Amino acid sequence: MLKVKNTLTAKKEPFKPIEKGKIRMYVCGPTVYGPGHIGHARTYIAFDIIRRYLEYRKFRVKYVVNITDVHDDMIKTANELGISIFELGKKYSEEFFKEMKILKVKQADVYPRVTEEIDEIIKLIEKLVQKKLAYETDDGVYFKVEKFSDYGKLSGIKIEKGKTGTRIQTDKYEKNNVQDFVLWKKAKPNEPAWDSPWGKGRPGWHIECSAMNFHHLGEQIDIHCGAEDLSFPHHENEIAQSEGVTGKQFVKYWMHSGFLNVNEKKMSKSLGNFITIPELLKTTDPRVFRFFVSGLHYRSPVNFSAKQIKKSEKTLKKLDSFLKRLTEIKKTGSENKKVNVLIENAKKGFEKEMDDDFNLPNAWAYLFELERETNKMEQEKGLTKKDALNVLNFFKKINSFLDIFQFEFKEQKLSQEEMKLIKKRENLRKEKKWDEADNIRKLLAKKGILLDDTQKGTKWRKEA
């Protein structure tokens, strides 16, 4: 029985989708005004594995990730760059898709964009106004938080009563209560704007997620995901807008991913520990990062450091060579029943842990145990090709959602000429002719041959 920790109830609950066998799942996506950071990468990988595990469990999952391409940050950055928000949004959404592909995050079924959902958003705000849950001011339309009695049920944050009637000026916007939040912003000069019943303007941030959920998944959905810091006010406001209109429960299970720190500190540009996804990909094999994320519980806070990544890299290399050895087994003969028992135990254990709120750290232990036991049997008795295939097939199945393992290993060979060059370079190094040695290294690097000078001599490998 699959169980999911629900932020709404703070309990682990049996998972029952609204419609049998079908899951409507929504993840708050990126604001496309610049490259994402590694905290985003962690969130999208964590929920990607969960989505694909649910598919492995034979659920039909409809997965929606929104693209925020209208936003204060978009306007500010576009102005700084002297381009339109449309150009900016195009550039960074394309980059986002490219990065997700590299990180093996499966495409969503729909990526709705604010610029393409304005009609849906306006329709929803109109309903909120009709229900007197929203009101118009000189500069926009606001949600009246006091009118929604369930406000705070997700985050536990209570609103202060008795503040109505006092007009409050906060930053730029005038509203009747500090807690009220903006649904529609009336246009200022030189801002991108759309026609609406309240004049030209653009939507506030929170309303898009309610409108896009309604449009692409329906008024009630099964799973809503996002990073922990979105639970208040963003998700609280989504609940208020959505349930305010329908009177029905909006989301059955709320799932939040934990914070990611870098070197034990919150990521910030001033601390110099802010890492964007493109920066990450320059220094880290995307497969290693995905492996690192897959070893964490999605709700756990994470510390990212070079040391952690090194550790992941080492473990993944070990797994790679384990799988490679299996592909090389040629021994004929029948299956060993003991191997099948090992696989069956690993599968059961792995699924049991995944069914317990997607407990990946515990689930991985079963894969490592299978690796250990298989190695032991191979050393003691030798496995047959059939045994090896059985183990490999199990790893392939698990890989349908982990998407980390490799199963094809190119044979790495160098030509005689290349081997000679490596030998020559070694001799030059002994003679301390560093420049000449380095020229050979550069020459080989151009051909994708990388050298590593170890105590036992120079090792080479070919770039994939």
Q: Provide the binding-site residues for Zn ion, judged by CB under 5 A.
A: 28, 209
- Report, in Å, the least distance between residue 18 CB and Zn ion: 20
C-alpha–C-alpha distance, residues 299 and 50, integer Å = 12
Q: Which helix (H) or strand (E) holds 265?
A: strand 265-266
Instruction: Output the CA torsion sign for 237, 239, 240, 241.
Output: positive
Residue 218: CB minimum distance to Zn ion, A? 16
Provide, rounded to whole angstroms, the least separation between the CB of residue 224 and Zn ion. Answer: 8
Distance CA 201, CA 18 (A): 36
- If the CB atoms of residues 217 and 383 are measured against Zn ion, the closer one turns out to be 217
Is-contact 208 102, C-beta < 8 A? no
181-186 and 201-203: which strand pairing? antiparallel
Kindly tell me which of 73 and 136 has the beta carbon lying closer to Zn ion: 73
Please state the three-class secondary structure of 276-306 as a single string. EHHHHHHHCCHHHHHHHHHCCCCCCCEEECH
Collapsing DSSP to helix, strand or coil, 165 comes out as: coil
Give CA–CA dist 74/185, Å, rounded.
14
Least gap, CB of 8 to Zn ion (angstroms): 15
Least distance to Zn ion, CB of residue 209, Å? 3
- The pair of structure tokens assigned to 18 is 């609204």
Which CB, 129 or 230, lies closer to Zn ion? 230
Rank residues 28 and 367 by Cβ distance to Zn ion and give the closer one: 28
Q: Which is nearer to Zn ion, 103 or 209 (CB)?
A: 209
CB of 33 to Zn ion, least distance (A): 16
Torsion on CA atoms 30, 295, 367, 407, rounded to nearest 10 = 50
Pick the closer one to Zn ion by CB: 224 or 290.
Answer: 224
